[in-house]
């Protein structure tokens, strides 16, 4: 910022001036010039005052911006449908189980009886004399773990008789390699744990003659997580670790894999985990011991109440800020920096209009904030009747949710609302499906060979939805069903697929295998090659690619991708995405889509606070004015410097002239005093 010139910072630098103005004449030159410059600087003072006014406006706009941002933050919870959790679950005996409820749960009371908890299978190997001795010759040995169900037979002293093991194809197999570098008990334990294949290994000391025993436990509970262990390589390791409940059992079972069993209002249920989800819709049980407990699911409006209270508080703080910066105080006779500001008035009016207008469309029991206990007072502030909001939530929680956030509801249970965009308009949209999405498959031409030999016919190169991975089928002799499970487990266990979120389902019909991608749509494709192909699928393969769902939304052809239909560009349904998970072709009912106050207010605030919004336009204009003032000040300072220099030059010249005249006067006075007076003696 330029500084106005003064006599003190300019006078000493002027050439041709007296070093001490006024000494010769007695004139106070500095005071005279300073007084003249004060008059000259009046325009500069006016510019400074104008700039201060602009700076005050900028500060006021910043305060309003912060209040608008706080209001936008306050509605983030109300703007998200997933945030509406209006039910809670409690239990009469939390030592038996605890429970939690999601927003889709139904209020009610349920009697839960827990008969047994789910548990994981534990196998114990024969004891070893120490933990340092090598086990076996060190020849490379592959240990393969499979997971499945043990059925039939009897169990005595940890050993099965007459039982069978059936592999679960949904669970990937895992392999561990043991060689001379790790063929001790700690080495085997560490190799299994590092492989992360769903088995936890440890070593226990039982205090016997050969006390050190390897303990293997499935990482997951449930009856389908029993282990089958195949050892290929060193005979000593095979003698220690081979295990199949339907055959060789070189380990002893310490605990059996089992499901949790329970009943809910007298209906028997089983669960592989002690976390039981959706035994009651939207309710999750966490079982802790056998026993009985009553579970009560009831409305819980605390989260919504807190969010609404935060919204009302933020709105009132915005109103207070607007009043502070735009009103006139008759007592102090001072006006706010944004008094009469059109941008601010427009923002305030739009927010009030938006929140005060009832919502259109089918919203259920409510269509306005006033019906929820949120009203405007005469002074422009907002108030909340918490009891009225609680009553509204108890009566129709879904309608309260629609009042605030964007929400879509389908009349067909196999049609689900997924998402929308800013272009999607509220309304009721008819859905018609002309073709369901399909999955990519590859099917054999002949019954599969049931014997897999390592290094001969155990390799598959699978390309799934554009990703390729090599898999190995565990050697052995299978039934058609167990072979399908083994192939499925091997493919789904490939990290290239699991990390990509893809997988397959392998089935058999009359011994003929079929691999189906778990994804839907035109990107769903399966192909296979490798040494195992002819044995598993015969001489030829039938490959079918998946297709996308097709249909209309609001009578207009929608965009299909997999199972998802999206409203067409330019239509009222633009951006409305729904998922068709099954059912028939033809009319599939309607989807009701609503835009709530929180969504609309958030969109409006985005515009107000955005780079193209009115606040930014106003601040940009003020900054431009301040920059112009800076330029004017620079020019005025330069002119004032010249004016001051001219004044100093002129007054210095006058000072010199007066000094010269004074000197001449003194000289003349002295000379005149020397002239003799007539008649007067000069001696």
User: Is residue 67 included in any domain, yes or no?
Assistant: no
CATH classification of the domain holding 481: 2.60.40
Domain count, the chain: 6
Q: Note whether 433 and 580 are within 8 A (CB).
A: yes
User: Is residue 625 included in any domain, yes or no?
Assistant: yes
> Do 136 and 244 lie in a common domain?
yes
Q: Note whether 279 and 285 are within 8 A (CB).
A: yes
Q: Note whether 126 and 114 are within 8 A (CB).
A: no
Beta carbons within 10 angstroms of residue 292's beta carbon: 14
Helices (H), 133-234: 185-195
pLDDT category at 21 given cuts 50, 70, 90 is: low
Nearest to 240 by CA among 256, 225, 252: 252
> Do 266 and 173 lie in a common domain?
no
pLDDT category at 24 given cuts 50, 70, 90 is: low
8-22, 407-421, 582-596, 628-642: least confident range: 8-22
Q: What is the per-residue pLDDT for 530?
A: 95
- Checking if the pLDDT of 543 tops 60, the result is yes
User: Is residue 601 included in any domain, yes or no?
Assistant: no
Tokens 């498959």 locate to: 441
Q: What is the per-residue pLDDT for 78?
A: 86
> Where are the extended beta strands (E) located within 358-453?
374-376, 382-384, 407-410, 415-419, 427-435, 441-444, 451-452
Query: What's the average model confidence in pLDDT over 407-419?
Result: 90
> Do 309 and 380 lie in a common domain?
yes
Whether this model's pTM surpasses 0.85 = no
Q: What is the per-residue pLDDT for 304?
A: 85
User: Is residue 577 included in any domain, yes or no?
Assistant: yes
Cβ neighbors of 302 (< 8 A, separation 6 or more) are none
Q: Report the SS3 class of residue 244.
A: coil
User: Is residue 603 included in any domain, yes or no?
Assistant: no
- Checking if the pLDDT of 653 tops 90, the result is no
Cα distance between residue 180 and residue 135, in whole Å: 9
Task: List, for residues 556-587, the tens digit of each pLDDT value.
Answer: 999 999 999 999 999 999 999 999 999 999 99
Largest CA distance in the chain: 170
Task: List, for residues 44-93, the tens digit of each pLDDT value.
Answer: 888 888 888 888 888 888 999 999 999 999 988 888 776 776 678 999 99
Cα distance between residue 50 and residue 374, in whole Å: 43
Domain boundary among 203, 232, 258: 258
21, burial (CB in 10 Å: exposed 0-12, middle 13-18, buried 19+): buried
> Do 500 and 524 lie in a common domain?
yes
Nearest to 227 by CA among 259, 260, 200: 200
362-366, 408-412, 477-481, 511-515: least confident range: 362-366
Q: Which residue range is the domain that position 575 belongs to? A: 409-437+549-594
Percent helix, percent strand, percent coil in the chain, to nearest 5: 35, 30, 35
Q: Note whether 374 and 384 are within 8 A (CB).
A: yes
User: Is residue 559 included in any domain, yes or no?
Assistant: yes
The Cα-based distances of 79 to 96, 386, 428, 563, 631 in angstroms read 37, 19, 20, 26, 47
Cα distance between residue 665 and residue 657, in whole Å: 12
> Do 251 and 170 lie in a common domain?
yes
> Do 235 and 142 lie in a common domain?
yes
pLDDT category at 278 given cuts 50, 70, 90 is: confident
User: Is residue 602 included in any domain, yes or no?
Assistant: no
Task: List, for residues 423-465, the tens digit of each pLDDT value.
Answer: 998 889 999 999 999 999 999 999 999 999 989 999 999 999 9
Please give the backbone phi and psi of residue 211, each rounded to the nearest 5 degrees, phi first. Answer: -80, -20
What is the per-residue DSSP string for 319-337? HHHHHHHH-EETTTTEE-T
pLDDT category at 359 given cuts 50, 70, 90 is: confident
Query: What's the average model confidence in pLDDT over 472-501?
Result: 91
> Do 470 and 417 lie in a common domain?
no
Domain boundary among 227, 258, 289: 258
Q: Note whether 297 and 101 are within 8 A (CB).
A: yes
> Do 135 and 211 lie in a common domain?
yes
- Checking if the pLDDT of 3 tops 60, the result is no
Tokens 């592999």 locate to: 167
Q: Note whether 645 and 36 are within 8 A (CB).
A: no
Nearest to 622 by CA among 216, 133, 50: 50
Cα distance between residue 415 and residue 287, in whole Å: 33
pLDDT category at 677 given cuts 50, 70, 90 is: confident
DSSP letter at 16? T
Query: What's the average model confidence in pLDDT over 327-346?
Result: 86
> Do 468 and 517 lie in a common domain?
yes
Average pLDDT, the chain: 89
User: Is residue 487 included in any domain, yes or no?
Assistant: yes
> Do 420 and 561 lie in a common domain?
yes
Domain boundary among 511, 544, 577: 544
Q: What is the per-residue pLDDT for 32?
A: 80
Helix (H) or strand (E) holding 589: strand 586-594
Cα distance between residue 277 and residue 283, in whole Å: 6
> Do 126 and 235 lie in a common domain?
yes
pLDDT category at 363 given cuts 50, 70, 90 is: low
> Do 133 and 231 lie in a common domain?
yes
Query: What's the average model confidence in pLDDT over 530-554?
Result: 96
């Amino acid at each position: 910022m330029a500084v106005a010139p003064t006599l003190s910072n300019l006078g000493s630098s002027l050439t041709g001036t007296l070093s001490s103005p006024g000494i010769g004449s007695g004139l106070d030159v500095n005071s005279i010039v300073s007084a003249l410059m004060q008059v000259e600087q009046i325009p500069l003072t006016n510019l400074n005052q104008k700039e201060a006014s602009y700076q005050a406006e900028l500060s006021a706009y910043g305060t309003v911006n912060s209040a608008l941002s706080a209001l936008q933050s306050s509605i983030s919870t109300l703007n998200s449908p997933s945030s509406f959790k209006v039910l809670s679950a409690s239990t009469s005996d939390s030592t038996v189980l605890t429970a939690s409820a999601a927003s889709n749960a139904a209020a009610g009371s349920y009697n839960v009886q827990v008969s047994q908890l789910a548990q994981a299978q534990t196998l114990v190997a024969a004891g070893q004399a120490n933990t340092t001795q090598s086990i076996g010759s060190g020849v490379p040995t592959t240990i393969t773990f499979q997971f499945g169900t043990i059925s039939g037979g009897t169990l005595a002293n940890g050993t099965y008789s007459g039982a069978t093991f059936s592999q679960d194809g949904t669970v990937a197999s895992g392999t561990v390699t043991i060689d001379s570098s790790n063929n001790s008990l700690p080495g085997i334990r560490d190799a299994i744990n590092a492989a992360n294949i769903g088995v936890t290994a440890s070593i226990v000391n039982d205090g016997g003659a050969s006390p050190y025993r390897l303990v293997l436990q499935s990482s997951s509970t449930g009856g389908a997580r029993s282990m089958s262990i195949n050892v290929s390589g060193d005979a000593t390791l095979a003698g220690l670790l081979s295990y199949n409940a339907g055959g060789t059992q070189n380990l002893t079972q310490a605990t059996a894999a089992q499901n949790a069993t329970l009943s809910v209002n007298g209906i028997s249920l089983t669960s592989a985990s002690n976390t039981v989800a959706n035994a009651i819709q939207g309710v999750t049980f966490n079982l802790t011991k056998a026993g009985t407990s009553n579970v009560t699911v009831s409305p819980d409006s605390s989260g919504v109440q807190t969010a609404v209270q935060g919204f009302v508080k933020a709105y009132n703080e915005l109103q207070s800020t607007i009043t502070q910066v735009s009103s006139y105080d008759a007592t102090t006779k001072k006006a706010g920096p944004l008094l009469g500001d059109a941008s601010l008035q427009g923002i305030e009016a739009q927010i009030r209009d938006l929140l005060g207008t009832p919502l259109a469309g089918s919203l259920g029991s409510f269509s306005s904030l006033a019906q929820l206990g949120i009203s405007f007072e005469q002074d422009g502030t907002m108030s909340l009747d918490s009891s009225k909001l609680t009553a509204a939530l108890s009566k129709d929680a879904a309608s309260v949710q629609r009042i605030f956030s964007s929400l879509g509801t389908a009349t067909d249970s196999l049609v689900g609302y997924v998402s929308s965009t800013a272009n999607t308009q509220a309304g009721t949209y008819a859905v018609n499906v002309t073709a369901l999405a399909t999955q990519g498959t590859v099917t054999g031409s002949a019954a599969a060979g049931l014997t897999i030999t390592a290094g001969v016919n155990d390799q598959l190169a699978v390309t799934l939805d554009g990703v390729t991975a090599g898999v190995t089928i565990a050697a052995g002799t299978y039934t058609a069903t167990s072979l399908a499970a083994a192939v499925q487990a091997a493919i789904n266990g490939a990290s290239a697929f699991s990390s990509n979120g893809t997988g397959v389902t392998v089935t058999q019909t009359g011994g003929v295998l079929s691999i189906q991608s778990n994804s839907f749509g035109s990107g769903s494709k399966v192909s296979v090659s490798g040494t195992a192909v002819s044995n598993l699928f015969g001489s030829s393969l039938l490959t079918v690619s998946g297709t996308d769902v097709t249909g209309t939304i609001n009578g207009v052809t929608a965009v299909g991708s997999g199972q998802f239909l999206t409203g067409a560009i330019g239509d009222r349904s633009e951006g409305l995405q729904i998922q068709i998970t099954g059912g028939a072709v033809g009319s599939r009912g309607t989807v009701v889509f609503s835009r709530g106050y929180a969504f609309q207010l958030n969109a409006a605030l985005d515009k107000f606070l955005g780079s193209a919004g009115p606040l930014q336009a106003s601040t940009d204009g003020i900054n431009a004015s301040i920059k112009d003032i800076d330029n004017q000040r620079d020019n005025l300072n330069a002119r004032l410097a010249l004016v001051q220099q001219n004044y100093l030059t002129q007054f210095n010249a006058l000072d010199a002239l007066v000094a010269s005249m004074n000197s001449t006067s003194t000289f003349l006075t002295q000379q005149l005093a020397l002239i003799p007076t007539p008649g007067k003696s000069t001696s």
